[in-house]
Structure 1
Amino acid sequence: MNKKTQADLLSDDLNADPSLNNDSVSLSDPAVSNSPLLAQASEPKPTFRLTPMFEQFLAIKEKHPNDLLFYRMGDFYELFFEDAEIAARELQITLTSRSGNTDNKIPMCGVPHHSANLYLAELLNKGYRVAICEQVEDPKTAKGLVKREVVNVLTPGTILENLNIEPKGNNFLGALFWDVENSDKTNPKGAFAWLDCSTGYWTGLSSKNISELWQWVIKMQPRELVIPDFQLSAFKIPEPIKNSKIQLVRVPLRSYFNFKSAEKKLLEVQGVAELAALGLEEKPELARACVALLTYLQQTRKNTQIPLQAFKPLDQNKYLVIDEVTERNLELFKRMDGSKGSGTLLHVLDNCLTPMGSRLLQERLHYPFKDLEQITEIQNAVKYLLENQGLRLRLQKILSQVQDLERLSTRIHVNRTNPRDVLALGTSLACLTNLRRLLENPLNTSIISDNSETTPKNEPLAYPTATDVGGMNLPKALQTLLKKWDDLSDITSLIKQALVNEPPIQITEGGIFQTGFNKELDELIDLTEHGTQKLNELLLKEQEETGITKLKLGQNRIFGYFFEVPRALVGQLPERFTRRQTVANAERLTTPELKALEEKLNLATDRRNSLEYQMFQDLRERVASVWTRIIFMASVVSALDYWQSLAEVGHKNKWVLPSLHSGFELEIVAGRHPVVEAIQGRSNFIPNDIYLNENKRLIIITGPNMAGKSTVLRQTALITILAQMGSYVPANNAKIGIADRIFSRVGASDNLAEGQSTFMTEMMESARILRQAGRNSLVILDEVGRGTSTFDGLSLAWAIAEDLVQRANGQVRTLFATHYHELTALEGKISGIANMNIAIKESGGEIIFLRRLIPGPSDRSYGIEVAKLAGVPAQVIQRAKAILAELEKNNAFNTKITLRNETQLLLGLNSKTKILPDEQLVKTQETVLIDKKQEQALNLFQELKELDCDNLSPINALTLLIDWKKRWK
């Protein structure tokens, strides 16, 4: 497949059919997209005359050049040419060949259709797209070659089937749009929208900053990102995108992101009259991103109409914004090594019993609330469930029986389902009545579930009493749920009456419906399941009427069912018996009644299978018609599950309910890191206090490596996030001023692929914080400026601390861990800065980490002692101590700056910085420096008099001090 030039792409775009009634999807070329198929596939070009089957295959393949074509032949999906070579290699299956009309061999491999999902999941997980080509006419009635068509294109971001979708996670398809055509305007805009096809959930946001949109792409991690083809030259794709599993899908701009068609299509899909109902009336760029998602779905899912929930733009003003760097640094979803599970905050919090609850938990962890009233409602619901353990346990018992309502109902709606899915949905919906009864009557201990007898005897449920419940007054959030409750009893009853307890997977082989549900089906079931009995009954009847006990019943493939009687007794049979065959010593005969029964038996199975198939389609359509109701109740169940999960975590870990307010103050008493505590145990974790207010806005934390500075920083941010999720927090007491954003700069990393050193990465993260931090932001900084020379790093750390403490009129809360002890001198000199350190104990030349955060600065770094603990050889440690002692003695490398009152004028602090009053600063008659050499003292004094402190920056002040030190030691 030849790569297209930019002119070709532009031509494709201008000539694209806006109606998109073709089968092709314009994808990116291998240089841009990280789809493995695009980098390897080429169109097959056989050099011999093809059979009709191969002509059909190539005609279909031509429309799907970038997809692996699963071509249905009988009970197998076959792949040919390069598709076969790729599939055989990736799936580790045998590659065979098929002969053409000459000696040429065509590469070929295949997989059984009944187990195809296993292979499809593996291919999708590796980033391939798969076109499913099925027979679309009955082979029995087809004239010539059976007609085939691509009925579905499976891509990583559009999966509906239960393949490799993470059960408790989302599988997003994203679309990014930046208004390149209007980029010369003063206010260019763009948008990013994302959609989970399997649940119908979608949202998005607009921004005037392209880097912010990329941040959200990295944060939400869509499996595929639809992007206009020649927009890629308009901005640089971030390296994290290139190195991620996100596949960039290039599409024509005008046919996918057309605003005129966007409005019409969005209104039609969402069933509204105007864009204002979707919050898109003033967001044309977001509407264009949304319609790109719809168009891509139309191209890949063919005629399948995927149901979508109501679109709601993500209003960042309503949520605590946590950028993707902070999510990574705080290990909210993944550990720093990229792995999931233990070691993440999600793992600690997820006690959800339904997939919907887990997805809601992840959503709240991505962007917690910022509205105090909304958070308080969640807190009250969580508190109610925590304090009423018996109620919570019964709620958990019922929730554990609820399967994925969102994905089950979506698969049923798009006819990608089987009878077991429908039965699972019905069983799950049956739990809604018990949930409602439980919330309406919390004291009724009989309401547990339909299978309450299965509760283990060694795990008795602790049912509440009227006294320990305190009246059982439901909090507002639970009352709101009950007001809108829908038991869906009509659908539950229908499914229960219709389906057998253990239906088959296939919908074409019968055995799906119960007797009594359909009269016609009952007759067919009776025939198919009791046919032998009816034949025996007919035989007994004829024996009695003829009086011939030697009359027997037989059957073969040629004549079917027949009566057999000895030849000597044939004359005694009535006229209704007709001869069919003569054998040795016997005659085989039939009767009209036997013929009628035989015909019924022969046709009953086919008729039953056909009838049950049609009945199942009718049942599926009936269930699909209430998809909106099911999705709403799925959101209700997910909220209940989310709240009980937070209550369970708070109860199990003995956390406390924080007090939130809209002010600046943040007070955490005996705070703990929730993840570290979960791994080490509470008894092994030493808690610490953090207190920030108007007079203590930036805390400089010093102490040795490994002492726990980073832990204190992270736990403060995590406790704030938990509080704004409505959760209990790991502390003895907490008062949290609501944060609008949380920023972190933690640890050392590089990006060598993009030519970025550790220091460059550190400065880029710091730059983002300094540009975006605003009122009520919480900033945690760890070791800023360590990647460059001492004076450069110290100067940068100093300037950053100075900027943060006065940013947004002093409304930014900052924790600043550092090894630059020089910064500790800022306490008392700049309003709002305070020192704290992680205490250690020295004993016999060894250090013991006390992990306790105490007021004041640390006296030194103890780097050599930490190196000793790390296992550095003894001779190296001894040599390092000797060198340090020599350096300190000769002051050859001592860069520590002591800020006495007399030297404050030398600092040249920013004129905006508030400096605390100091009476000694006006005592100009005192000697500034005392030196044995009077001339040097006079020269220094003269320079001091001429110094312009108002316009002297910190770095210039340090440079001046170095110069003085060289001249006048």
Structure 2
Amino acid sequence: MLEQYLHFKEENPGCLLFFRMGDFYELFFEDAETVAKAVQIALTSRNPNDENPIPMCGMPHHSVEPYLSQLLEKGYKIAICDQIEDPREAKGLVKRDVTRVLTPGTVVEDSNLKSKENNYLGSLYWDASTNTGGIAWLDFSTGQWSGLLSRKEPELWQWLVKINPSELLLPQGFKIPPQFTELSSQVTSVPLGAYFDISSAVTKIQELQGTVNMKALDLDDKPELVRACGALLTYLEHTQKSKLGHLGEFKPLNLGKHLLLDEITERNLEIFRRLDGKTGKGTLWKVLDKTKTSMGGRLLESRLRQPWRDRAPIEKSLECVTFLFERDHLRADLRNALDSVYDLERLSTRVFLGRATPKDFIALRQSLHMLPKLRDFLSTALQEDTGELTKILKKWDNMEDIASILDVSLVDSPPPNITDGGLFKKGFDAKLDELIELTEHGEDRLKRLHEKELNQNDIPKLKLGFNKIFGYYFEVSKAFKGQVPEHFIRRQTLVNSERYITPELKEMEDRIISASDDRKSLEYKLFIQLREQLSAARSRFLFMADVIASIDFWQGLAETARVNEWCRPSLHEGMEIEIEAGRHPVVEDAMGASNYIPGDLRIDHSRRILLITGPNMAGKSTVLRQVAILTIMAQIGSFVPAKKAQIGLADRVFSRVGASDNLAQGHSTFMVEMTETARILRQATKRSLVILDEIGRGTSTYDGLSLAWAVVEELSTRARGGIRTLFATHYHELTALEGKIDGLRNLNIAVKEWKGDIVFLRRLVPGPADRSYGIEVAKLAGVPKGVVDRAREILAELEEKSHDSRAKGAVERASQTLLPGFGAPPIEISEELTEHPIVTQLTDLDVDGMTPIQALMLLNQWKDMIKG
């Protein structure tokens, strides 16, 4: 047995070998030590009295799943070595074989998966000679797969970060670049020649997809992507050791159809994870997710990762959401029914792969019972053609034939294992009914036979007995053995009695003893037949899974919109974005609707770049993110948190917000900031939406100001007319660009001073902010009073010195081409002008201390002086 174990261990290097022995899975040697420590079970020994005992641990086969889940989460690969013949029929050592290898990217059991998230296996191939590469990703639990070709290697890694596969196949020697260390996939290195061979990949893809050429799959001119796909299929063949027919049609990702969100934008906007890396509350996905099924949840995830760019599919989605938004009773009925629908995609996959449990079949049965109800709810509400929902109803499949088979076959609470019997109802199979009768009522039959013999034969005190050696018998006292009929066959003589059997008793005994095993064997065969029937209907399951996912996706968006009082956005092909009383959905969810102050915003041809100033904590970043998030929500076909929203479709959304570093790669906060800014400037188009927050804050004041100014200028001239941009900054000098850069407008987040404190009004108003209020914000944050007071003293001194410096050379620094503070060439002033009273007042003027009204009055006074 140990030789057999070591043989399979050698064939599966790098795997923990779970070796089936009877009712247990056992592990030996280093594997036993590893597993015992990883899942906290007892480590024993195969031969404890020997000098070198063999470490050993194990667990019952029926309760192995939780241990497998823990090990997969810790990154281990597991080879399952099963008994492939009945031990009762084995001659010598039971035949065993590795039936599959479990890895993080190939699991299909619910215990190892997150219900509303895809679990991808990814692969990457890069050809340095052609400077082209491809990535492919596949969810083995649903059968969906896709891929992407690119001539930019960083772009491939960016998409892998977005997709975040559980497991990533890379050619041996190929490693994740240091700038993409946030990619958390478990890397599996595979031989380049064996896994990424082009001819082998073409053959496997064509056989699986049933095509004679690669053009039908849009892969004829994408050899690098074909190699990546081939690596996935080869890996699945080696690990799953079963047919891959459940995989759907391969569809390369068409970037032209989708609004593109890079991994940085997803992170900065906290679409799936908060900035601290955690999921759940505080993310856009959590706010939007009112889906009731796993399939609907995964569709929401897919839409958020790849919103639509074309208007047509967005409008179809909005029509369905609007229909459900306006019908509260229908939506409530749908939500109640959908709550009883299980994951048809993954359940049908397990059926097809032969890994479905009886519990999975009951889940399928319950789900299919909901299909007619869902259809009736929709057809009753759809009195006229309403577009997409009407089309869905015309193709609806209640799958009543499959539901009927499941109704008459399986009991409501079957045992967990298909070899234990007790799976099927009476009436499903005549032969099985007889075996059930024997196993459940065999004693009653024996009693009736006993009564029959008593009635037919005059034998007082005829007893029915049983022992393990002779089985069932009739016992007769020696005083009455002369009355025993001829069909009684003596089996045993005792002191005071004789024991007999009859042909009928023997037959009944054989049938009762073998009935239990026969029943289990027959039920197993019937279950396999039932599984094959359901497996043949996989395409129907997948079609209805897509239908259910769409309905659940739409009703979830409608429910969220109704609860939060959102509006339907109006989308157009222009560049304008107009939002009335807009709110940030995640911030509002955290604060409560009553505490959130909505705001208005408009972007058009004359207001392409909005320069937003204001103190820290006033809400600049919230406004920036809000516009980007509302655009994304509109382009997945969702309502948006606003009173009114008109949004020009975007092809990409870019964000550069917050401060972060990557010290492991030697990248400072400023370096990360500049890297992200460089990506935006190189990739943004006229239809893009860019949000920038605090560019240039990680270096010296003049360096940062220069960079911020240059970035604004670049964005204003790119793409033949500028890119839609929201730019938040503390560099108040930039506000002087209004009027100098076409399409730039100043906005600020209003605040009010009250008794030495500031009140955040949370409203976006025209014009620049008057100052930063940094010390007031520090006070609100709880900085000690002594520090705050000292800071005010220092600020007063610095401002006074700054005013003196400006007074000495205010006129000299005036320039139409440079911002204040950038030393311009001195201006020659005649001697008579230096003594002019206006010049004298100008040099002594405290500009920062003046109100707008005072400035206007002074200008009017100077005007009168000049006229005089």
Name the TM-score, length of structure 2 as normaliser: 0.92
Is residue 96 of structure 1 aligned with residue 39 of structure 2? no
Q: In structure 2, list runs of 5 or more residues that go unmatched.
A: 821-825, 837-868
CA distance 1:475–1:279, change in 2 (3 Å)? farther
Aligned to 2:844: none
Listed one character per residue, the Cα deviations across residues 654-704 of structure 1 (whole Å, up to 9, x for unaligned) are: 100000001100000010010111111111001111100011000010001
Is residue 571 of structure 1 aligned with residue 510 of structure 2? no
Q: Is the 8 A contact 2:15 2:79 kept in 1?
A: yes
Is residue 368 of structure 1 aligned with residue 311 of structure 2? no
CA distance 1:540–1:811, change in 2 (3 Å)? farther
1:882-921 aligned within 5 A: 882-891=793-802, 903-906=815-818
Q: CA deviation at 1:720?
A: 0.5
Q: Is the 8 A contact 1:576 1:591 kept in 2?
A: yes
Of 648, 666, 670, the residue aligned with 1:737 is 648
Secondary structure in structure 1 of the residue aligned to 2:315: helix
Aligned to 1:761: 672
Q: Which amino acid aligns with 1:237?
A: P
CA distance 1:93–1:853, change in 2 (3 Å)? same
Greater shift in the superposed pair: 312-321 or 55-64: 55-64
Of 155, 174, 185, the residue aligned with 1:246 is 185
Q: CA deviation at 1:176?
A: 0.9
Secondary structure in structure 2 of the residue aligned to 1:206: strand
1:589-608 aligned within 5 A: 589-608=500-519
CA distance 1:691–1:898, change in 2 (3 Å)? farther
Q: CA deviation at 1:435?
A: 2.0
1:537-936 aligned within 5 A: 537-891=448-802, 903-906=815-818, 930=829
Aligned to 2:69: 121
Q: CA deviation at 1:932?
A: 6.6
Of 80, 92, 110, the residue aligned with 2:58 is 110
1:451-470 aligned within 5 A: none
Q: CA deviation at 1:716?
A: 0.7
CA distance 1:894–1:595, change in 2 (3 Å)? farther
Is residue 85 of structure 1 aligned with residue 37 of structure 2? no
Secondary structure in structure 2 of the residue aligned to 1:481: helix
The CA distance in 2 between the partners of 1:165 and 1:367, in whole Å, is 22
The CA distance in 1 between the partners of 2:746 and 2:406, in whole Å, is 67
The CA distance in 2 between the partners of 1:273 and 1:371, in whole Å, is 32
Greater shift in the superposed pair: 252-261 or 360-369: 252-261
% identical equivalent positions: 55
Q: CA deviation at 1:63?
A: 1.6
Of 233, 236, 245, the residue aligned with 1:294 is 233
Q: Which amino acid aligns with 2:302?
A: E
Aligned to 1:132: 80
Of 230, 234, 237, the residue aligned with 2:177 is 237
The CA distance in 2 between the partners of 1:99 and 1:793, in whole Å, is 72
The CA distance in 2 between the partners of 1:894 and 1:385, in whole Å, is 66
Listed one character per residue, the Cα deviations across residues 881-939 of structure 1 (whole Å, up to 9, x for unaligned) are: 1111111111189899999996214469xxxxxxxxxxxxxxxxxx95658799999xx
Q: Is the 8 A contact 2:139 2:145 kept in 1?
A: yes
Q: Is the 8 A contact 1:433 1:487 kept in 2?
A: yes
Aligned to 1:359: 298
The CA distance in 2 between the partners of 1:834 and 1:177, in whole Å, is 46
Is residue 192 of structure 1 aligned with residue 135 of structure 2? yes
Secondary structure in structure 1 of the residue aligned to 2:816: helix
The CA distance in 2 between the partners of 1:930 and 1:715, in whole Å, is 50
Aligned to 1:169: 117
Aligned length in residues: 830
The CA distance in 1 between the partners of 2:793 and 2:410, in whole Å, is 84
Q: CA deviation at 1:356?
A: 0.3
Listed one character per residue, the Cα deviations across residues 440-485 of structure 1 (whole Å, up to 9, x for unaligned) are: 222xxxxxxxxxxxxxxxxxxxxxxxxxxxx733421112212322
Q: In structure 1, list runs of 5 or more residues that go unmatched.
A: 1-52, 443-470, 909-926, 938-969
Is residue 396 of structure 1 aligned with residue 335 of structure 2? yes
The CA distance in 2 between the partners of 1:621 and 1:253, in whole Å, is 37
Of 466, 471, 477, the residue aligned with 2:388 is 477
Aligned to 1:441: 380
**Structure 1 ranges of 4+ moved more than 4 A:** 892-902, 927-937
Secondary structure in structure 2 of the residue aligned to 1:199: coil
1:501-512 aligned within 5 A: 501-512=412-423
Q: CA deviation at 1:114?
A: 1.9
Aligned to 2:861: none
The CA distance in 1 between the partners of 2:818 and 2:832, in whole Å, is 21
Listed one character per residue, the Cα deviations across residues 144-203 of structure 1 (whole Å, up to 9, x for unaligned) are: 3323221111001111123321111111100111112x24xxxx2211111110011111
Q: Is the 8 A contact 1:349 1:646 kept in 2?
A: yes
> What CA RMSD, in Å, does the superposition of the two structures yield over aligned residues?
2.3
Q: Which amino acid aligns with 1:657?
A: R
CA distance 1:100–1:565, change in 2 (3 Å)? closer
The CA distance in 1 between the partners of 2:810 and 2:733, in whole Å, is 7
Secondary structure in structure 1 of the residue aligned to 2:54: strand
Aligned to 2:860: none
Q: Which amino acid aligns with 1:668?
A: I
Secondary structure in structure 2 of the residue aligned to 1:891: helix
The CA distance in 1 between the partners of 2:507 and 2:801, in whole Å, is 116
Aligned to 1:447: none
Q: Is the 8 A contact 2:811 2:827 kept in 1?
A: no
Q: Is the 8 A contact 1:128 1:155 kept in 2?
A: yes
Secondary structure in structure 1 of the residue aligned to 2:180: helix
The CA distance in 1 between the partners of 2:320 and 2:274, in whole Å, is 30
The CA distance in 2 between the partners of 1:543 and 1:787, in whole Å, is 103
Q: Which amino acid aligns with 2:79?
A: A
Greater shift in the superposed pair: 640-649 or 843-852: 843-852
Q: CA deviation at 1:430?
A: 2.5
Listed one character per residue, the Cα deviations across residues 189-237 of structure 1 (whole Å, up to 9, x for unaligned) are: 21111111001111111111111110100001001111122444xxx61
Secondary structure in structure 1 of the residue aligned to 2:112: coil
Greater shift in the superposed pair: 650-659 or 541-550: 541-550
Aligned to 2:152: 209
